[in-house]
Amino acid sequence: MRARFQGLSPVAQGILLALLAVVLWSGNFIIARKVIHQVQPLHLAFYRWFCASILLLPLAWKHLQRERHLYWQYRMPLFWLSLTGIALFNTFVYVAGHYTSAINMALIGTTSSPLFATAMAVVFLREKIPPARLAGMVLCVTGILFLLSGGSWQKLLHLQFGWGDLWVLAGAFAFAIYNVLVRKRPPELHPVSFLWVLFFGGTVLLLPFVGMEAMGWWQIGQGATSGTQWDLGLVGAILYLGAGTSVVSFLSWNGAIQRLGAARTVLFGNLIPIFASVEAVWLIGETMGMVHFISGGLVILGLALANASTPGFRNAT
Domain ranges of the chain: 9-307
Chain-centroid distance, C-alpha 108:
12
Task: Give SS3 for 189.
Answer: coil
How far is 238 from 53, CA to CA, in rounded Å?
Answer: 13
Contacts of 81 (CB under 8 A, 6+ apart): 178, 181, 182, 185, 198, 201
Parts of the chain with a pLDDT under 50: 311-316
Q: Is the pTM for the entire model greater than 0.75?
A: yes
pLDDT at 260: 80
Please report, for residues 85, 113, 203, 259, the alpha-carbon distance to residue 254 in angstroms, rounded to integers and kept in the order given: 16, 19, 22, 9
Contact 315, 114 (CB under 8 A): yes
pLDDT in tens, 221-252: 655 556 789 999 999 999 999 999 999 998 89
Q: What is the pLDDT of residue 315?
A: 45
Per-residue pLDDT at 204: 97
Using an 8 Å Cβ cutoff, are 49 and 203 in contact? yes
Conformational region of residue 306, where left means phi above 0, alpha means psi within -120 to 50, and beta covers everything else:
alpha
First to last CA, the chain: 27
Count of Cβ atoms closer than 10 Å to residue 227 Cβ: 11
What's the pLDDT at 7?
79
